[in-house]
Structure 1
Amino acid sequence: MKRGSFNQAWIPTALLLVACAAAWLVPQAFVPLKGAIVPALGLIMFGMGLTLTGPQLTAVLRRPRWLLMGIGLQFVVMPAAALGLAMALDLPPTLAAGLILVGTCPGGTASNVVTYLARGDVALSVAMTATSTLLAPLATPWLTLWLAGTRVDVPALAMFGDIVRIVLLPVAAGVLLRRWLTPLAQHLARWLPGLSMLLIAFIVAIILALNHGQLAATGVLVATAVILHNTLGFVLGYLGATLTGAGSAQRRAIAIEVGMQNSGLATTLAIKFLPPLSALPAALFSVWQNLAGLGLAAAWRRGQRP
């Protein structure tokens, strides 16, 4: 990474904050764009597929212990933490379902960048993101049904089909393009990270605009739940890795991967399958996790250890 890229890593968060401000000030400009959320997420997933390389994943598969342990934490810690917080904070059913949906989603691609900045094990982070994404069609809908099904109607089978279409197919297309048309894939890969930043900000802005009125009434409660959820992911992910004997780089990668979720997928699924207000936790999570993740990376780069 070039000199000064750590400062550039704040660009996604700046874009998110600008987009959120615009959505708050002129929500009517974003509400009609609701139909663009699914195609935007598909492009983000396609970009993720372009980044996956054989050597990266082979290095991790030679040490599957940390990958399996990290994935286990991913799909245990975050769903359980979401359910516990929903009960402790007495969240309304729709907000509780939205928070649980965030917890059952796979890791987000931003975690790979944050892991690099934190001097963590990047190959492990990439492998965890890819593996949790591949498991998402089964894990996300059924965990959401199990944990949130008593609060709102969760159409798990339909959700499964959409995750395959929105996530797995674009990722597979990216992987195949990199395999068979490498020069074109390498050219696209230079542009897609920046495009993904814009698309994530775009998706979050639409979600905030759609929930503009409700945010004024529930903003503090949702923000509290989101901040605690993300913090528990970082802390319990790090603690779990430490207790199982992981090295420093692996502990950082696992903590970041567990704490940072694919909130774009959560917002898309919430908008399509749950009451509209359910998307609000995912939208706020997207903003907060980038701020918290970059702050954590900065602390670790300065040599501070939790």
Structure 2
Amino acid sequence: MTTIALPIALGIIMLGLGLSLTLADFARVLKQPKAVITALFCQLIILPVVCFGLVLLFDLPPVLAVGMMMLAASPGGTTANLYSHLFRGDIALNISLTAVNSVIAVITLPVITNVAILYFEPFDDQLGLQWDKALEVFAIVLLPVALGMLIRRFWPRFADGMDKPVRIASVVILVVVIAGAVASNWKLLSENFAQLAVITILFCLISLGIGFVVPRMLKIGRRQAIATSFEIGIHNATLAIVIAQTVLGSTELMLPAAVYGVLMFFIAFGFGFLIRDRTPQQVHAEAPAIR
């Protein structure tokens, strides 16, 4: 059931992402190049290095170490848009970053996962994501997004009407997927929960912090930094779970993403209160965004 249900669940989530995207969201990247390049550098370079350091520091078992690296390589989740809206981030930037990150992840996620597998050697008879498996990642990530964008292009009213139901379904699906991952790996999880809880909390906090501090150091506007923080700090845990379970065929690999998927909601919510934009909303309507 998991090999069928999990890809369908992720497909619904990625379809929901596509329903909220247009080609203009990709084009908007050109209008905020500094913010986008900074976010992508943090997401694609800094975070995997940070995660690798944490994995070595905590001396995780090889299979859990690879699971953490897969999580670090996963793009931002759609939940980032919700948090950005709640704490007055630049939602348009969030949407653009999610769009671009989802495309880039088709390449970076298999690469980082393969490097982690080669280094930590969690399997005796498996080399990692080969070409055919990389094509599966492409199909899982991009095809539902493309379908959602086509629906929005030709049936915009239907897309708008489906936005809320799909978002609700995404949250429900995420909870069910995580519950299933926990239940099927209870022994391994209970043995390593303390380590996984601490390392995922640290990774989430560091990711959120990097996503906010680095843009601010580079004189990028506060609203853009808030958007970047959530985009970098909130990973698509469901994607990591599905790749682990259905593509690599390892339920143990999904445990870091499952623990992270539960804890990150509370961490991101608390972090949002620390960085939220306290400027009155009417000022935003008058002042242009800093790019």
Q: TM-score higher than 0.5 here?
A: yes
Residue 262 (str. 1) matches residue 236 (str. 2): yes
Distance in 1 (CA, whole Å) between partners of 2:271 and 2:74 is 22
Distance in 2, matches of 1:246 and 1:167, equals 30
Q: Map Cα deviations across residues 62-109 of structure 1 (whole Å, 9 max, x no partner).
A: 122211221121111221121111101111100000000000111111
Match in the other structure for 1:214: 188
Aligned in 2, Cα 1:47/1:142: closer, same or farther, shift over 3 Å? same
The equivalent of 2:137 in structure 1 is 163
Other-structure match for 2:286: none
Q: Tell whether 2:220 aligns with 1:246.
A: yes
Q: Which moved more, 1:66-75 or 1:290-299?
A: 290-299
Q: Is 1:99 the counterpart of 2:68 in the alignment?
A: yes
Post-superposition shift, 1:156?
4.0
Shift of 1:189: 1.7
Query: Could you say which residue in structure 1 is the equivalent of 2:38?
Result: 69
After superposition, where does 1:96-245 map in structure 2 within 5 Å?
A: 96-151=65-120, 152=122, 153-245=127-219
Cα gap change, 1:172 to 1:290, in 2 (>3 Å): same
* Letter in structure 1 aligned against 2:251: P
CA contact (8 A) 2:230 2:268 kept: yes
Deviations 1:93-143 (A, max 9, x none): 000000000001111110111111111111111111111101111010012
Gaps of 5+ in 2: 280-291
What is the aligned-residue identity percentage?
Answer: 29
Query: What letter corresponds to residue 150 of structure 2 in structure 1?
Result: L
The question of whether the paired residues in 1 share the 8 Å contact of 2:98 and 2:231 is answered with yes
2:50 alignment counterpart: 81
The aligned residue for residue 261 of structure 2 is 286
Q: 1:278 to 1:128 in 2, by over 3 A?
A: same
Deviates more, 1:145-154 or 1:221-230: 145-154
Give CA-to-partner distance per residue, 1:238-283, whole Å, 9 cap, x none.
2221222211111111111111111100011111315321110000
Distance of 2:115 and 2:192 partners within structure 1: 25
Paired residue type of 1:267: I
Contact 1:51 1:189 in 2 (8 A): yes
Instruction: Tell me, yes or no, if the aligned pair for 2:80 and 2:230 is still in contact at 8 Å.
Output: yes
8 Å Cα contact 2:204-2:234 kept in structure 1: yes
Q: Tell me which amino acid in the other structure corresponds to 1:231.
A: L
Alpha-carbon contact 1:111-1:125 (below 8 Å) kept: yes
Displacement of 1:61 in angstroms is: 2.8
**Matched residues in 1 for 2:157 and 2:90: separation?**
27
Contact 2:113 2:129 in 1 (8 A): no
- Post-superposition Cα deviations, 1:277-298, rounded to whole Å, max 9, x if no partner, equal 1110000111111111112223
